[in-house]
Structure 1
Amino acid sequence: MPKLKNKSAAKKRFRFTATGKVRATQSGKQHGMIKRTNKQIRNQRGTTILKDCDAKIVKKMMPYR
């Protein structure tokens, strides 16, 4: 059997923690900051851990992680 390839888009967007959880950047922070509240902008800094249902999809895209 040939090796499975990682999805290039997933490689760029997601990282894994030491325990195997999936870390991603916060959503809703690319543009349109003028209409967001300051509280929203503060809370969307940095990264977040994905829920299990979403992490399962990402792990399929990156089979050897």
Structure 2
Amino acid sequence: MPKMKSHTGMGKRVKQTGSGKWISEQAGKRHLLEGKTSRRTRRLTGTVEVAKTEIKRIKKLLGR
């Protein structure tokens, strides 16, 4: 049986902190920025904790 390959794209998008939380960049700041207010785009900056419902899927993709 061949080895499981981890999903390299997911590995670049999420990171696990020392305490075990999963963090990623805030969504919604890639395109169509002219229609969004400056206040909204500023608040989309930075990292956020991944939703608990997504953690099972992320672990499966990373082979953990």
TM range (shorter): 0.7 to 0.9
Q: Distance in 2 between matches of 1:6 and 1:52?
A: 20
Give the residue type in structure 2 aligned to 1:8. Answer: T
Q: For residues 5-51 of structure 1, give each alpha carbon's deviation from its aligned partner in whole angstroms, at most 9, with x where no partner exists.
A: 21011111111111221111111111111100122111110111111
Secondary structure of 1:39's counterpart equals helix
Give the distance between the partners of 1:39 and 1:54, measured in 2 at CA.
Answer: 28
Instruction: Give the Cα separation in 2 of the matches to 1:35 and 1:56.
Output: 34
- Structure 1: distance between partners of 2:47 and 2:5: 25
TM-score normalized with structure 2 length = 0.83
The one-letter code matched in structure 1 to 2:31 is H
Long gaps (5+) in structure 1: none
Q: Give the count of matched residue pairs.
A: 64
RMSD over aligned Cα, in angstroms?
A: 1.5
